[in-house]
Each structure stands twice: as C-alpha cells, then as structure tokens.
Amino acid sequence: MMQNDLLNLVDRLSDAGVEFVIIGGLAGIIHGSTRTTQDIDICCKFTPENLFKLFAAVKNTNPVHRMSPNRPVLVLNSQNADKFKNLYLDTDIGQLDCLGEVQGIGNFDEVCKNAISVHIGGKNYQVLSIDALIKSKKSLNRPTDKQDVIQLQAIKQFRQEEK
C-alpha cells in the first residue's frame, strides 16, 4: 500500500467526523520512525454514532471483516452498532484496524489524554504521543514492537538533545 492510500483512509475518517486517535505503526512513522506499515491502526470511540460515521467513511471502499471466516462485508445497523469492540477491516484502499482500547494505555478516553495534535497535509490529527506509544509497544512486547521501542526511544532522546 502506498503512503498516499494510508493518508486517503485517514482523511476519509477525519472528513466523516470520526472520533479517533492514530496509534501503532503509522503513529511511529509520524513521530519519525523509519518502519513501514501496511495498515492504519486507530483507537476510536465505539459508540453507534461514531461507528456510523466510520461506516460512512469506508462504505464505498468495499470494507470486509478480514479476521472473520469468509471475510463478510461490513454491515452496520441499529441492531449491531453497539456490539463491536474492535474492527479489523480490509478495504480497497488498505487495511484499517479500529480498536476500542490500547494495551498499556487504556480505553479511548485514556488514549485521548495521551494524544497530541499533529498537522499533516493541511489537517490536524490526533496521534498517540511518543511516550504513550513507547509504553504501549513495551506492554505488547512483540519482536517488531521491541524494535520500534528502540527506535522511538532514540528519536525521543535526539529531540531532547536538540532543545
């Protein structure tokens, strides 16, 4: 996936008024990491209202549940809108992982408290702070996250030395 596709997907969410914070690999890249990512990870408010906005943002991109057998098309309605805790979607323009909480940080409200506003492509986005991203990746403790922590700590130290 091209970086422009990632930004297109993030723009769609923003334009639809979805309440979300960029987390994961894309957050690391925004902070200066050289890691590549094939998806967008967000933490979002899992209320029916917010999920309907998310659905409006992606509905014409053929969203399917990528973690479910047979990869069913995403259907959101008043009967199921309050049932989701996470969504793992494949769309025509990329993968979108929507989480209700971030390991090591907490639920959406806690994630928002640990987010910063970043200006990208003429718009402001909420992005998990570098400190919170490091904390989350340490708690996940997967091999890629361990590498991310090393790089993010170096970026943080470099920024502190520049001051």
d(CA 147, CA 137): 9
- Over residues 108-134, mean pLDDT: 97
Q: Above 70 in pLDDT, residue 3?
A: no
Percent of all residues in the chain with a pLDDT value above 70, rounded to a whole number: 98
Q: What is the pLDDT of residue 98?
A: 98
* 72 DSSP assignment: P
d(CA 44, CA 39): 15
Question: Global pTM?
Answer: 0.94
Tokens of 119: 């200006």
Q: Above 50 in pLDDT, residue 1?
A: no
Q: Above 70 in pLDDT, residue 128?
A: yes
Neighbour order of strands in the sheet with 64-65: 64-65, 86-91, 94-99, 39-44, 20-23, 123-128, 115-120
Q: Look-up: residue for tokens 């999920």?
A: 51
What's 3-162's CATH class?
alpha beta
How far from chain centre, in Å, is Cα 26?
7
Least confident segment among 6-10, 25-29, 52-56: 6-10
Q: Which residue has the higher pLDDT, 56 or 69?
A: 56
Q: Which residue has the higher pLDDT, 118 or 163?
A: 118
Q: Are 126 and 22 in contact (CB under 8 A)?
A: yes
